[in-house]
Structure 1
Amino acid sequence: DKGGGCDYNYSCSYTDSISWSSPTTPLPMIRSPRAAFDLLFGAGGTEEERALRRRTHSSILDWVAREVAYLKREVGALDRQRIDRYLDSVREIERRIQLIEARNSSGEPRELPGAPPGVPDSFSEHMQLMFDLQVLAFETDITRVTSFKTGRDASNRPFPESGSDRGFHPASHHGGKEENILEFNKICQFRVGQLAYFIERLKATADEEGSLLDNTVVLWGSPMGDANLHNHRRCPLVLLGGGNDVFETGVHYKAPDGTPMANVFLSLLHGLGHDDMRSFGDSTGEFLL
């Protein structure tokens, strides 16, 4: 029931969505790498039409081969190299998705039996594929903003790659026992550790001035300050990236009790040039960054 109260009278929609098209309309997560790939790099049409094109063409690039050949004749050597790098990156991600789809449809047992074909059983493989899609979208200026959620809130999914076989939500209710806290920390460190891959990919990708990381702001956080008690106070936030030198890095700030997280969002928006915004969400002012 996504319309009822899940926790502290919050709508269950918050367990699945962090982006909203209006104050009452959540945007669903895209879990499938194939769906994200088609949305960013594929042609339009319905899912059935896109599936038909995939059956008749081994690669999405086959659809535009003639146009690409014409374009490469019209540009200089440097731009041809850029086009080739872009096409190689698109094809490499596409191959990875195709391999996962083939593996998932082979009939071999899956770690996540309920997951659709194309969604990797491995959490780290899934995260890296979704991160690479975002990096390529930034590099080609298809989009300049993404919202990314690493999983559904209150998920019972285990993360065996972390070294723990406990489900995430049950493990979060550690009861204050040291051994349980250490077990939960294994899962948390593993999940947060996936961010390093994204940061390194941004750092390794050239932009007009410096790297993508130099010109990007990554805000990473948690909706819980103390998951054991479902405490939403004092939630941690990490700000990464150069952001065109708008923000000072390497600093730890401790917010006064009761500071809305939205104050950070408002300051972030102002730093990115949205000076006309007087408020954001339940903000009460800016938080110095």
Structure 2
Amino acid sequence: MSQFTRRTALTGMGVTVGLPWLESLGRAMGEAAIPAGQPPTRLAWLYVPNGVHMPNWAPKTEGKLAELPATLKAFEAIRGSLTVHTGLTADKARPNGDGPGDHARALSAFLTGCQAKKTDGTNIHSGISVDQVAASGMGHFTRLPSLEIGAEAGAMAGNCDSGYSCVYSATMSWRSATQPLPKEVNPALIFDRLFGVSEDANRKDRDRLRKSVLDTVMKDATGIRGKVAVGDRRKLDEYLDSVRDIELRMARAEKLPPPAKPTIDRPKAIPAAYSEHLELLVDLLVLAFQTDSTRVATFVLANEGSNRSYQFLQVPDGHHDLSHHGKNATKQEKIAKINLFHAGIFGRLGTKLAAIREGEGTLLDHCLIAYGSGNSDGDRHNHDDLPIAVLGGNKLGVVGNRHIVHAKETPLANLWLAMLQKAGIQRTALGDSTGLLKV
């Protein structure tokens, strides 16, 4: 029997378009954790800053969703795949003795469940984020272990929030407690990461040169490890881990076909309009999942504490300024407009995934896409009863069109553990988790 791989599929069919996940390809790549005939699970987390106007978010009753609240009307067409979670808490976004800095802590704790070290220096410290736990469990099946994207660039140093490094309020994904993964905001560069360049005569020579450089780097770095201070050894070890990760990616790339030609043209630049930027990022994320370029992604719609104005919504005020509304009805109305716009981007992602057939269902049925904020009411800066929603999972045992009310102070990390379990990744703890939620 001939071996059926992605390379032979692309060559044998004589095409250069991206292939969706195929059962035969899954078996060929040794995806033993996935039952025969079942597409793989994809996981993604989307983040919005400054909390939301909760009266327009929270469903009035528990259980089956009746009329959707104003902000959630963006999901009407796909409500059968929507689950709203109430009662979840990001305790490590609270001060816990560290004083002001709620915005920085909100984003850094969202996927880690860990207290960020209060510093504006290089000695940053948080915890591994759930997306990177997922990437370590299934990233070896795809060209990219994970994809980190966003619509606002952020500094990786300096003081951005009451003594907290800018990295905390701009970064959601953490490879380790001291290794934040910066997001990419340029759609063209995201496109290049996903699809690269076609085969050419110099590719193998370039790969050999890269391998030679990496070998030299590893040898030199290993040789000086015993000659540096203890603190520097940690940094050196993280550096070596990054080099090894590049080596592993190069090795994976040799076993995969050349990056396929996508169904959209390479973006020329970052769109000037924020809404167009977000829509383009959604389209790229859909392609990333559809072509199985990655199965794990994070998407920061705007940095925590963002004071962006939304002129196109007739909201000229800064978002962060408005979030401190002091119960002013006019400001709350403007916040609600921003919330509805952001929810619409999430809805766009879900609708596009739902339109793609995969296996016996849709691509959305085999995804779990979480959406929310590490702040609840931006005026109060509270981190309990967070606005959290999940789309997808109908083929993973998740029943949609529901509002699930959890006990007060239930750690948000408990939900992330449940999402990992649905993806076949067994993890007993993450940050401040206390157990596994039933989703």
- Is 1:287 the counterpart of 2:437? The answer is yes
CA contact under 8 A between 1:171 and 1:184: conserved in structure 2? yes
**How is 1:55-204 mapped onto 2 (pairs within 5 angstroms)?**
87=261, 90=262, 92-94=264-266, 97-98=267-268, 118-204=269-355
Q: Structure 1 counterpart of 2:433, which letter?
A: S
Q: CA deviation at 1:165?
A: 1.1
Normalising to structure 1: TM-score of the pair? 0.72
Higher relative contact order (CA 8 A, sep 6+): 2
Q: Which residue of 2 aligns with 1:50?
A: none
Q: CA deviation at 1:196?
A: 1.4
Distance 1:11 1:278, change over 3 A: farther
Q: Aligned to 1:20, what secondary structure does the other structure show?
A: strand
Q: Distance in 1 between matches of 2:395 and 2:353?
A: 14
Q: Which residue of 2 aligns with 1:33?
A: 187
Q: Aligned to 2:382, what secondary structure does the other structure show?
A: coil
Q: Which ranges of structure 2 fall in alignment gaps of 5 or more residues? A: 1-119, 121-156, 199-256
Q: Which residue of 2 aligns with 1:52?
A: none
CA contact under 8 A between 2:394 and 2:400: conserved in structure 1? no
Q: Which ranges of structure 1 fall in alignment gaps of 5 or more residues? A: 45-70, 72-82, 99-117
Distance 1:24 1:279, change over 3 A: same
Distance 1:279 1:4, change over 3 A: farther
After the TM superposition, which segments of 4 or more aligned residues of structure 1 sit over 4 Å from their partners? Answer: none
Q: CA deviation at 1:258?
A: 1.5
Q: Distance in 1 between matches of 2:423 and 2:379?
A: 35
Q: Distance in 1 between matches of 2:276 and 2:432?
A: 36
How far does the alpha carbon of each residue in 1:203-249 deviate from its partner, in whole angstroms, 9 at most, with x for none? 11222332211211111111111111221221111011135232221
Percent of aligned pairs with the same amino acid: 35
Distance 1:250 1:135, change over 3 A: same
Normalising to structure 2: TM-score of the pair? 0.48
Q: CA deviation at 1:91?
A: 5.1
Q: Distance in 1 between matches of 2:284 and 2:323?
A: 30
- Is 1:266 the counterpart of 2:420? The answer is no
Q: CA deviation at 1:14?
A: 2.5
Q: Distance in 2 between matches of 1:179 and 1:217?
A: 35
RMSD between aligned alpha carbons? 2.3
Q: Which residue of 2 aligns with 1:18?
A: 172
CA contact under 8 A between 2:373 and 2:386: conserved in structure 1? yes
Q: Distance in 1 between matches of 2:423 and 2:171?
A: 24
CA contact under 8 A between 1:158 and 1:168: conserved in structure 2? yes
Q: Distance in 2 between matches of 1:207 and 1:220?
A: 23
**More deviation, 179-188/206-215:** 206-215
Q: Structure 1 counterpart of 2:191, which letter?
A: F
How far does the alpha carbon of each residue in 1:246-267 deviate from its partner, in whole angstroms, 9 at most, with x for none? 2221111122221111011111
Q: Distance in 1 between matches of 2:388 and 2:414?
A: 12
The count of aligned residue pairs is 225
